[in-house]
Amino acid sequence: MSSKASPSASNHEAVAGNLAPMNLMADLGRQQLALATESACALFRGSEAMRKIQQQAAHQACAHHEAAAQRLRGTCEPADLLAIQSDLLRSNFQEAAEYWQALMANALKTQSEMMGCANRIFNTKAENGFKPALEAWQAAMAGSLNGAANWPAMQQ
């Protein structure tokens, strides 16, 4: 009875070993979807942060312009008009520089998070990572190309 079980078990292991690259290839789609979903989440978080930066910049600009408008409603000397305008211009340039700096920092952080998603896929354990699936695919393609190279010789 034990003699029948061992050939069947070894045959099953051999079939499983032969199908291992195909199982990895089948898992490739799931891993690609996971990568795309994680990257989308990082992009959405970045978009939310960008929206907050824009809202904060608009709020600050509104506050400065309201203060300038309030000062302009009162009686002003010509020198005061120049001071109000120059103060408003200075704050606009300063806030614009801070705004673009914050947007760039947010974009770099978002890009880093998205690259981190891809990096996690490539740096996973050998038995469940993306890299073994790609290696199996490359081996399968190389094997088929080697077989295609011998095809004309087999016809003769």
| Residue 76 belongs to a domain | yes
| pTM for the structure as a whole | 0.61
* Domain hosting residue 93, numbered range: 27-120
| Domains held by the chain: number | 1
User: 28-85 pLDDT, tens per residue?
Assistant: 778 888 889 999 999 999 999 999 999 999 999 999 999 999 999 998 898 999 999 9
Residue 57's Cβ-count burial label (10 Å; 0-12, 13-18, 19+) is: middle
The dihedral of CA 31, 37, 40, 44: what is its sign?
A: negative
Q: What CA–CA distance (Å, rounded) separates 136 from 142?
A: 10
| Residue 4 belongs to a domain | no
| Residue 1 belongs to a domain | no
| Residue 104 belongs to a domain | yes
| Residue 150 belongs to a domain | no
126-136 b/e (C-beta count within 10 Å ≥ 16 → b): eeebbebbeeb
| Residue 6 belongs to a domain | no
| Residue 88 belongs to a domain | yes
